[in-house]
């Protein structure tokens, strides 16, 4: 069997002889959300030596959620439990997972160099699955009052607002979900949105409109968060009428979107104007060999998966799917022509 032979050959490779006493992995996966962990499952099952740089805070965005109701076959599972299962699954097939943060990469030559807060390592291929993080508003008072009434994670912080008055900023599915979680604790929840309609899915909007504790303030943006040791008031401006007013709130949850976690890759792979990693499609004609790899970045041997390149679907299941694709591409790349 050809495949078997190739794998055996790879396993017999001195995989830990990367020169200078540093081991060289077949696949280094950066990130430990659904994309990274699914990639780890496929890479290890393809007999590639695989390390996952999981970060000190592993598991990605799902660790900050409660119930996940749209992951096939696991309705009602909690986000953290889903990630624990994925992690156990990846470990079962031999992935090495380290709770270390990446501090630098060098993709300019092979093997690729990666530095974490604890070690230097080298790898023949890399899968970037660092995901995305909360986008903050960047208005006055936000930084100062973060964790003191200003939050981006209702499942984490909602219990502190029992019987209180809270606001949610945003109009997507995440904002609807945060508002609904908050109704279990807060007395009143006000969703503040800059447009006159939500972009959330119909089913989420319906739930929000049916919930008596939730009211909506349309066409309004936040100008400032006010308070000394904790949040006391939010100044909002109605952009249609141009009027500003201050409203008292005990807490505010910001869910206006996400920004890709790609700072560390600047200058290493091509990013788009919003910082998302660009897949190789542009280069397809120039580098025909690369064109075969759907999940390749602009650097051969460096692949991408999940929210760090995908601002369109952003689901646990699509991230997992992209992780699978990236790992299959990486395995094929390692086998060579």
Partner 1 sequence: MSIVVVKDSDFEEKVLRNTSPVLVDFWASWCNPCKMAEPILEALSEEYKDKLIIVKLDVDQNPNQTQKYDVMSIPTTILFKEGGEVGRQIGFAGRKAYEDLLKKDLE
Residue 164 and residue 319: Cα distance in Å, rounded? 36
Does residue number 225 form part of the binding site for partner 1 (CB under 8 A)?
Answer: no
> Of the candidates 26, 157, 177, 178, which one interacts with partner 1 according to CB under 8 A?
157
Of residues 71, 160, 258, 311, which one binds partner 1 by CB under 8 A?
Answer: 160
Q: Which stretch binds partner 1 (CB under 8 A): 146-154, 213-221, 295-303, 315-323?
A: 146-154
Closest of 116, 13, 59, 34 to residue 334, by C-alpha: 13
User: How many beta carbons lie within 10 A of that of residue 160, not counting itself?
Assistant: 14
Task: State yes or no: cis peptide before 307, omega within 30 of 0.
Answer: no
Q: Which stretch binds partner 1 (CB under 8 A): 120-128, 131-139, 157-165, 284-292?
A: 157-165
Select the span of 133-141, 155-163, 191-199, 319-327 touching partner 1 (CB under 8 A). Answer: 155-163
Selected catalytic residue, list 157, 250, 307, 310: 157
Pairing relationship of beta strands 220-226 and 233-238 according to DSSP bridges: antiparallel
144 binds partner 1 (CB under 8 A): no
- Integer-rounded Cα Rg, in Å, for the chain is 22
CB atoms within 10 A of CB 272: 12
Of 34 and 301, CB closest to partner 1: 34
DSSP state of 230: S
Active-site residue flag, 156: yes
Among 36, 149, 171, 306, binds partner 1 (CB under 8 A): 149
- Give me the least distance between CB of 148 and partner 1, in Å please: 6
Neighbouring C-beta atoms of residue 77, cutoff 10 Å? 17
Binding track, positions 20-39, relative to partner 1; x by CB under 8 A: --------------------
Question: At CA 185, angle to CA 181 and CA 190, rounded to 5?
Answer: 70
153 is a catalytic site residue: yes
Active centre residues (catalytic): 153, 156-157
């Amino acid at each position: 069997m050809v495949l078997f032979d190739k794998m055996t050959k790879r396993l017999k490779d001195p995989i830990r002889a990367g020169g200078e006493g540093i081991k060289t992995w077949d696949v280094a996966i950066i990130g430990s959300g659904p994309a990274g962990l699914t990639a780890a499952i496929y890479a290890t099952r393809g007999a590639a030596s695989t390390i996952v740089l999981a970060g000190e805070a592993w598991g990605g965005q799902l660790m900050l959620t409660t119930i996940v109701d749209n992951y096939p076959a696991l309705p009602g599972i909690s986000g953290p439990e889903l990630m624990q299962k994925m992690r156990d699954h990846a470990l079962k097939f031999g992935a090495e997972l380290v709770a270390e943060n990446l501090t630098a990469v060098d993709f300019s030559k092979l093997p690729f160099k990666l530095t974490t807060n604890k070690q230097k390592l080298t790898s023949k291929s890399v899968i970037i699955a660092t995901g995305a993080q909360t986008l903050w508003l960047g208005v006055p008072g936000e930084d100062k009052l973060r964790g003191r009434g200003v939050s981006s994670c209702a499942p984490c912080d909602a219990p502190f607002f029992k019987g209180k008055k809270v606001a949610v900023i945003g109009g997507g599915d995440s904002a609807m979900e945060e508002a609904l979680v908050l109704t279990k604790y807060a007395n009143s929840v006000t969703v503040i949105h800059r447009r006159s309609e939500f972009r959330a899915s119909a089913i989420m909007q319906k739930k929000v409109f049916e919930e008596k504790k939730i009211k909506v303030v349309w066409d309004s943006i936040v100008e400032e968060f006010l308070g000394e040791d904790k949040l006391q008031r939010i100044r909002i401006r109605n952009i249609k009428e141009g009027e500003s007013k201050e409203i008292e709130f005990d807490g505010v949850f910001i869910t206006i979107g996400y920004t890709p976690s790609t700072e560390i890759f600047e200058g290493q792979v091509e990013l788009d104007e919003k910082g998302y990693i660009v897949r190789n499609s542009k280069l397809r004609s120039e580098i025909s060999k690369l064109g075969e790899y759907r999940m390749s970045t602009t650097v051969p041997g460096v692949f991408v998966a999940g929210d760090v390149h995908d601002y369109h679907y952003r689901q646990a299941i699509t991230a997992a799917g992209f992780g699978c694709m990236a790992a299959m591409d990486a395995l094929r790349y390692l086998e060579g022509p």
